A and B are shown apart, each in its own frame.
Chain A
Amino acid sequence: MGFKDYCFRKSLWVFHFGGASCNNCDIEILDCLTPRHDLERFGILLVGSIRHADVLLVNGSINRRDRDRLLELYRQAPKPILVVAIGACGCTGGIFAEGNTFAGPVDKIIPVDAYIPGCPPKPEAIISGIVKLAGKK
């Protein structure tokens, strides 16, 4: 692992995109940032602008309206960017997979680097997923 790569993996800034989720995954993601779980010890920060992001967290089912927004966000993000699909909805569509407005799970729209299944995944699972992502390669 080179110096550049090392710096990148030690300082992942996260941008959170909530699709048409049932809101449980959003709450679990916010849980990761609370004192109990504290993602900052891995250098992970939640940022408000996609221009600063290194990781795009996507949760919830992606419906037809979300798809354009998600694509636009992915295009606006400075590369390299990692995409993490969170929850059963993000990974496969979950209970919404048969829905009328469903526009495919995340990996049909943009390339995904990590999947964190669960409905909703526990904060521990999310942390373990992100740490594995940071240690990849």
Chain B
Amino acid sequence: MAVYLFYFLIFPGLLFMAVAGALLSWYDRKITARVQFRKGPPLLQPFYDFFKLLLVKETILPKHGSRSVFLIAPLLGVFGAAMAGLFILLPLFDIETGFRGDIIVIFYLLTLPSFSYIIGSLASGNPLAAVGASREMKLIISYELTFLLVVAAVIMKSGQQFDMNSIIETQQTGRPFIGSISGVLLFVAGVFCIQAKLALVPFDMSEAETELASGIYIEYSGPPYAMIKLAKYIMFFILPAFLVAILMNGMNPGVNIIWFILKILGVVLLLTLIRNTNPRLKIKQASGFFLIWMNLLVVVAIVLIAFGL
């Protein structure tokens, strides 16, 4: 029992994921700054932000709307992200094997943070937050099918295996899935899904700094906003880790840990470059992009997998 608590809270759970995610989010901001010929924030900036929100700032509750839901929603987000991360990282780091069908559980847990943001923002009673929440909902409907298809294609490619551990093992004994045409197509679709899940720029219409003044988070201040930041940091680490696990053969023990870190950094670099070179899409364009083009891409990949490519 105690060992599971340790897994959940310290390693590879909450604490480890939060620190890794915070460093990755610094990396993202630094790359963004370098792309724009700026100097960028110092290394510990995400920690300053988090502790400032958690320890210094005051919480303001909305006058209209449901206060308890408003406060519980961010915790739900952190819980979902940490739980999903745990199921991803335990097989990935070869600590526990997980169970049959855990990839489906991971898929559902990964949607929990987005849902919690929607619940929290609708509970705040702010009209801009409501607009943001409705956009987020439409976005979820668009990308979730693609993401499910990617997961399904990976399951098919690994020979109908439903758990992370055997998917990773299949790749480590054979070759990584990304080394084939279908794997590359899946990787492209997966990267765009992650981009949308993290609400990075082409798909950030639910936050929309310029028009909605941070949309779904507009009413949050102080510790609840720190919790949202925490959930975002965790997601920033586990989503690339998930992609690396299901397509790029996860992590081998020993010095190969460096390879694993490089793979994660590479995926995040890709996300950051996409975010820095694209303008924000309209929600209609984003839906069309996922529902038509990305789904088509994954279906082509599935057909290729059926032919063994």
Contact = CB atoms under 8 A, between A and B. Distances in A.
Interface of A: 3-8, 10-11, 35, 38, 40-41, 43, 47-49, 51-52, 54, 76, 78-80
B55 A49 contact: no
Query: 3 nearest interchain CB pairs?
Result: A48-B213, A51-B221, A11-B48
Interface string B12-56: 000000000000000001000100111111101101110110011
B222 interface: yes
Contact of B214 (A4, A6, A40, A52): A52
B220 interface: yes
A1 B272 CA distance: 35
Given A40-B40, A49-B218, A52-B221, A11 B58 contact: no
Nearest to B212: A48
A63 to B, nearest CB: 23
Interface residues of B, number: 34
A43 B221 contact: no
Contacts of B56: 4-5, 7-8, 80
B187 interface: no
A54 B52 contact: yes
Given A4-B55, A38-B33, A43-B41, A48 B60 contact: no
A51 B36 contact: no
23 contacts: A3-B51, A3-B55, A4-B55, A4-B56, A7-B47, A7-B56, A10-B48, A11-B49, A35-B36, A38-B40, A40-B39, A41-B33, A41-B38, A41-B39, A41-B41, A43-B45, A51-B219, A51-B221, A52-B214, A52-B217, A78-B222, A79-B57, A80-B57
